[in-house]
Amino acid sequence: MEDPAPDPGCRLSELREALLTEDGLKHISRLVTIGELALCFSHEVRTPLTLLLGHAYMMNKALPEDDPMRPHSDNVYHNGLRMKGMIDSMLNFGRRREKSTERCAPEELIEEAVRVVGPYFDNFKNPPIALQMNVANDCPEVAIARWEMVHVLVNLLTNAADAMAQSCKRLVTISAQQQDQGIVRFDVADTGSGIASECAERVFAPFFTTKGECGNGLGLYIARCTVEHHGGSIALQTGSCGTVFTVCLPTR
């Protein structure tokens, strides 16, 4: 039996509950101001970023595959592409246009996300983060906006790393498999201490965060909105041995 479609009214009630307080109204006022500045910044930075991407592309072409600098230039190029995708999405926000989707192999999405978070994972030492990727051989392509879904996976991967900050064993596993006909399931698992039950029920709510001053409470909320806008779903399972976030996406 299929799960019921997400109720837009639930999301609106969550937003109303978060905003109808004095602190909430002050916070949304700051976010509106930041949003206006972000649009101006995005417009101004797009041209020089495109120029930098061109140079990074030519650098990649000039470097042999076995050159020790090649992984670094690849990182510059692919992170630049991700930034450009985010800037384009921000500038397109609010315009009346249909979302542009493409068919993507789950393995490509995972590899792209892992490439982006690689430098962030490198910040964790003693012990370092071990990463495992598992993609089923018969996993079909999904129809998505590529950079939006890469951003969702990046968000889940960085959250997984943060959740293991105090762990003696740091292992992140990201996998993809066909769950049902027409559905691909992505799992991102960590070996952290888990999320308290009272917090687990609220992690997808706007402005709720377990990271204190280091978080703004919007990452997982935006991830949920993005996944649901693609006709998918996102959920989590958590316990003392870690947390697993599951994203289900349609193949059509």
- What's phi and psi for 11, nearest 5 deg? -65, -40
Give residue 78's pLDDT.
81
| pLDDT, tens digit (0-9, with 9 covering 90-100), for 204-251 | 887 777 776 666 677 888 899 889 989 999 999 998 889 999 999 998
N-to-C CA span, the chain:
19
Neighbours of 219 (CB within 10 A): 20
CATH of 98-252, one of 3.30.565.10, 3.40.50.450, 3.30.70.2970, 3.40.50.2000: 3.30.565.10
Mean per-residue pLDDT pooled into runs of 10, the chain (252 residues): 50 58 65 67 76 85 87 83 73 57 92 88 90 93 90 93 91 94 94 89 80 71 90 92 94 84
> Residue ranges per domain, the chain?
1-96, 98-252
- Report CA 31 to chain centroid distance, whole Å: 20
Q: Distance between CA 111 and CA 118 in Å, rounded?
A: 10
Topology annotation, domain 1-96 = Helix Hairpins (1.10.287)
- Report CA 2 to chain centroid distance, whole Å: 25
pTM: 0.68
Give residue 73's pLDDT.
84
Cβ contact 249:186 at 8 Å: yes
